């Protein structure tokens, strides 16, 4: 069990980048509901005292904002799959550059500001992803596992390295390596739902590849859990404790929606249409385990695919 968990304890001042996104929006609300003072970084003119301007592409950030901040949560990053699912040429040079630089710019801007703060935060939570591990077949992957190969592994390694510059005797860093999030508003989830709804549900590739996953509900709870601890540091895999194959997941969605599961998307079509991006996003196999979250005492509320699909389909 991790020590120093805050439940009804001191109010934290939390600064979030990427607060308007899929994960940032509910995370901001949860932290506010827990009684914390939540501030956000925005790239437009601030509208109230809780918003603060930054421009990570130029390294700009409001002077002094990191002073007296307890926890920084960096969620800022360009979507890895957006271009793929919009039907554009997947991962052209400009798109790959945007995926990488958006993460590096955000991590570097925050790390620099933290190191220059007179009273720096005690914790930086740096969003990362299980892409770090690369394609590993059925190997069990924990936080102790080595990096993998491929574009996504390179991206996550570089972003984590950039964020590591913020570490000091005062500031700890948590690297939150998240799986694909299952929830309303998640692009991949929405497209799988659409595919299933129109009767085209079925295996992605042969379906045997392990797809790490986590419900949006548990993703947000896990990030808040890390923020509320006074001793968290290092890597945490934010994935469900119940590993599942791609076939398991598409079947669970079809059952929940009461739709057929027959057609799917064969491997040759994925490779032909999506190239490298299709291979890394849809066909890579990663059996990732949330070892450190479990040993710390975190309790998942959507442990099974059935629970996550039910929340996806029936929650408000």
For residue 191, count other CB atoms closer than 10 A to its CB.
13
Burial class of residue 204 in the structure, from the number of CB atoms within 10 Å of its CB (0-12 exposed, 13-18 middle, 19+ buried): buried
Q: How far apart are CA 21 and CA 111, in angstroms?
A: 21
pLDDT for position 8: 47
Please report the DSSP string for 117-136 in residue order: -SS--SEEEEEEEGGGG---
Length of the chain: 316
Q: Are strands 13-17 and 37-42 parallel, antiparallel or unpaired?
A: parallel
**Do residues 130 and 137 make contact, with C-beta atoms less than 8 angstroms apart?**
no
Q: Are strands 140-141 and 287-288 parallel, antiparallel or unpaired?
A: parallel
For the CA atoms of 301, 125, 287, 289, what is the dihedral angle to 10 degrees? Answer: -50
pLDDT for position 57: 96
User: Which tens digits make up the pLDDT trace of 63-74?
Assistant: 999 998 999 999
Strand pairing partners for 126? 74, 175
- Order of strands across the sheet with 37-42? 60-61, 51-55, 37-42, 13-17, 71-74, 123-129, 172-178, 234-238
List of the chain residues with pLDDT < 50: 1, 3, 5, 8
For residue 55, count other CB atoms closer than 10 A to its CB.
13
Q: How far apart are CA 248 and CA 244, in angstroms?
A: 6
Q: How far apart are CA 99 and CA 291, in angstroms?
A: 28
Residue 87: partners with Cβ closer than 8 Å, 6 or more residues away: none
User: Which tens digits make up the pLDDT trace of 188-236?
Assistant: 898 899 999 999 999 999 999 999 999 999 999 999 999 999 999 999 9
**Do residues 17 and 247 make contact, with C-beta atoms less than 8 angstroms apart?**
no
pLDDT for position 80: 85
pLDDT for position 90: 63
Please name each of the domains of the chain with its CATH number: 13-181+213-239+286-302 (3.40.50.720)
pLDDT for position 92: 78
Q: How far apart are CA 316 and CA 305, in angstroms?
A: 18
pTM over 0.85: yes
**52 φ/ψ angles, rounded to the nearest 5 degrees:** -140, 135
């Amino acid at each position: 069990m991790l020590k120093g968990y805050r439940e009804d304890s001191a109010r934290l001042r939390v600064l979030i980048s990427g607060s308007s996104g899929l994960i940032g929006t509910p995370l901001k609300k949860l932290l506010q509901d827990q009684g914390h003072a939540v501030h956000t970084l925005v790239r437009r003119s601030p509208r109230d005292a809780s918003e603060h301007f930054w421009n990570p592409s130029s390294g700009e950030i409001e002077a002094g904002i990191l002073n007296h901040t307890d926890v920084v949560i960096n969620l800022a990053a360009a979507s890895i799959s957006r271009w793929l699912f919009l039907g554009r040429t997947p991962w052209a040079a400009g798109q790959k550059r945007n995926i990488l630089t958006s993460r590096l710019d955000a991590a570097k801007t925050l790390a620099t500001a933290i190191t220059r703060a007179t009273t720096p935060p005690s914790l930086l939570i740096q969003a990362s992803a299980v892409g770090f591990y690369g394609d590993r077949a059925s190997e069990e992957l924990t936080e102790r596992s080595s990096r993998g190969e491929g574009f996504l592994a390179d991206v996550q390694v570089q972003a984590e390295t950039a964020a590591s510059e913020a570490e000091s005797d005062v500031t700890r860093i948590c690297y939150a390596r998240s799986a694909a999030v299952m929830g309303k508003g998640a692009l991949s989830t929405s497209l799988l739902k659409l595919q299933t709804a129109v009767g085209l549900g079925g295996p992605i590739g042969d379906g045997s590849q392990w797809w790490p996953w986590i419900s949006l509900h548990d993703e947000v709870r896990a990030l808040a859990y890390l923020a509320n601890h006074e001793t968290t540091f290092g890597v945490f895999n934010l994935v469900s404790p119940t590993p599942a194959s791609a076939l398991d997941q598409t079947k669970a969605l079809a059952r929940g929606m009461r739709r057929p599961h027959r057609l799917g998307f064969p491997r040759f079509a994925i490779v032909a249409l999506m190239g490298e991006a299709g291979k890394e996003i849809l066909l890579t196999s990663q059996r990732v385990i949330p070892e450190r979250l479990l040993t710390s005492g975190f309790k998942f509320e959507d442990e099974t695919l059935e629970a996550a699909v039910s929340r996806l389909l029936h929650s408000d």
